Amino acid sequence: MSSIDTPLKVSIVAPCYNEEEVIEEFARRAMAAGRAAAADSFELVLVDDGSRDTTWAKIEALSRENPQIVGVRLMRNHGHELASTAGIASSCGARILLIDADLQDPPELLSEMMAMMDRGADVVYGQRGIRKGESWMKLTTSALFYRLLRWLASVDIPSDTGDFRLMTRRVAELLLSMPERDRFLRGMISWIGGRQVPIVYERDERHAGTTKYSYSKLLRLALDAITGFSARPLRIASWAGVVTAFIAMALLAYTFYSFEAGWAVTGWSSTMVAITVFSAVQLITLGILGEYVGRLVQQSKGRPLFMVDRMVRGGEDVSPIDSYDMGPGRHLNPGRRDNFLP
Ligand code: UDP
Ligand code: MG
């Protein structure tokens, strides 16, 4: 391991959830890519996101054999975005490559991404050209989602990108200084700005195993993205309220008129239509409000973003701290810094 005054050139950070089938092959390819791109000046941070299979046992074994591999085990499943955040917080390289552990994103691109960063980029993000092995349903919903997000959000989030990206330490620290719990990393990184350049690549099929993203997790991520980057749905809700209020006034006038005219008894269908339409609009509006308020409540509790159970660095156990305060003045992760102090 290099000493404290020569920081590692790059940290490769991968969140892993039930990835026992691919983790070893991933580590092999990521290590080879690190060696090719940064000689020996790199580390591979594998974050086990509370897996229920043998993923942690494998990560632990890898990190004991190889001092360049850092193993981090979270207390429980925190989800992709928080596991990635934990990995970034535990890393110490001058640059950070965020990559999925399932080998859908080729680690071999690291050399080219490093070269692009040498030419001045702050972030090099992977943009998917061809996507193999994704269902028709997933491709359509993802295309629709990006279009919706671009329309709603005030920040320009490039389409067809995942979390596969190389960023400078500065961008990573800015990212860690953002305290939000509901993290949509690719949006947050776009929001930081600076020089962000794409690298187009072919997204492979998963090397093995199945997707760890259920549709409900994807929906949650989509809602996090929208509520995290736009207040527009609230405005749409208000407008829907205004429009339906006008319709309601017209209906009211019509009701009085019918009463006066003496044919008020009929009209069951119009009543039903009015009730259905108004209840639907109200429920949708409440739902939208709920999405924001719920996040506000979670955020106001100020709980740690993630909890680390165990950590192996340089082939040895290091004690992780219990809580991670993100945002300004956060505790630095001693698992990262203290171990580099003499
Ligand atoms: N992942 C995670 N925690 C989760 C779900 C996923 O750390 O709760 C990791 C997973 O191990 C993988 C990456 O996030 O490395 C992307 O997940 P996946 O490949 O299942 O998503 P997809 O590519 O199908 O969108
Ligand atoms: Mg995948």
- pLDDT over 50 at 131, yes or no: yes
Determine the distance separating the centroid of ligand 2 and the alpha carbon of 308, expressed in angstroms: 23
pLDDT at 14: 98
Give, for 124, the enclosing helix (H) or strand (E).
strand 123-131
Domain boundaries of the chain, sorted by first residue: 10-212+303-317, 232-300
Pocket of ligand 1 (CB under 6 A): 15-17, 19, 49, 77, 79-80, 83, 100-102, 104, 211-213
pLDDT digits (tens, 9 = 90+) for 177-208: 888 888 999 999 999 999 999 999 888 888 88
- pLDDT over 90 at 61, yes or no: yes
Section 231-244 average pLDDT? 82
pLDDT at 73: 95
Quote the distance between the C-alpha of residue 293 and its chain's center.
20
Query: Are 83 and 15 a contacting pair, CB within 8 Å?
Result: yes
- pLDDT over 50 at 246, yes or no: yes
Query: Are 229 and 122 a contacting pair, CB within 8 Å?
Result: no
Distance between CA atoms of 156 and 236, rounded to whole angstroms? 20
pLDDT at 6: 66
Question: For the ranges 264-268, 322-326, 333-337, which has the lowest average pLDDT?
Answer: 333-337
CA atoms within 13 A on the CB side of 280: 7
Give, for 317, the enclosing helix (H) or strand (E).
strand 316-318
Q: Which of 65-74, 268-277, 294-303 ranks highest by mean pLDDT?
A: 65-74
Top pLDDT among 168 and 208 is at 168
Determine the distance separating the centroid of ligand 1 and the alpha carbon of 274, expressed in angstroms: 44
Tell me which amino acid residue 293 is. Answer: V
Which ligand 1 atom sits nearest the alpha carbon of residue 78?
Answer: 8
Determine the distance separating the centroid of ligand 1 and the alpha carbon of 265, expressed in angstroms: 59
Section 233-247 average pLDDT? 83
Question: For the ranges 140-144, 145-149, 184-188, 331-335, which has the lowest average pLDDT?
Answer: 331-335
Determine the distance separating the centroid of ligand 2 and the alpha carbon of 203, expressed in angstroms: 9
- pLDDT over 50 at 51, yes or no: yes
Determine the distance separating the centroid of ligand 1 and the alpha carbon of 53, expressed in angstroms: 14
Which ligand 1 atom sits nearest the alpha carbon of residue 211?
Answer: 20
Top pLDDT among 17 and 248 is at 17
Which long-range contacts link 244-249 to residues 24+ away (Cβ below 8 Å)?
244/277, 244/278, 244/281, 247/277, 248/274, 248/278
pLDDT at 26: 97
Cα torsion for 239, 242, 248, 253, to the nearest 10°? -140
Kindly state the percentage of the chain with pLDDT values over 90: 45
Size (the chain), residues: 342
Section 2-10 average pLDDT? 70
Question: For the ranges 75-84, 118-127, 146-155, 174-183, which has the lowest average pLDDT?
Answer: 146-155
Which ligand 1 atom sits nearest the alpha carbon of residue 206?
Answer: 19
CATH code, residues 10-212+303-317: 3.90.550.10
Report the chain's mean pLDDT, rounded to a whole number: 85
Q: Which of 107-111, 129-133, 173-177, 317-321 ranks highest by mean pLDDT?
A: 107-111
pLDDT at 322: 44
Quote the distance between the C-alpha of residue 187 and its chain's center.
8
Which of 19, 131, 212 for a ligand 1 pocket mutation test, highest count of atoms within 8 Å of Cβ? 212
Which of 12, 17, 77, 161 for a ligand 1 pocket mutation test, highest count of atoms within 8 Å of Cβ? 17
Q: Work out the pLDDT band at 326, boundaries 50, 70, 90.
A: low
pLDDT at 1: 43
- pLDDT over 90 at 38, yes or no: yes
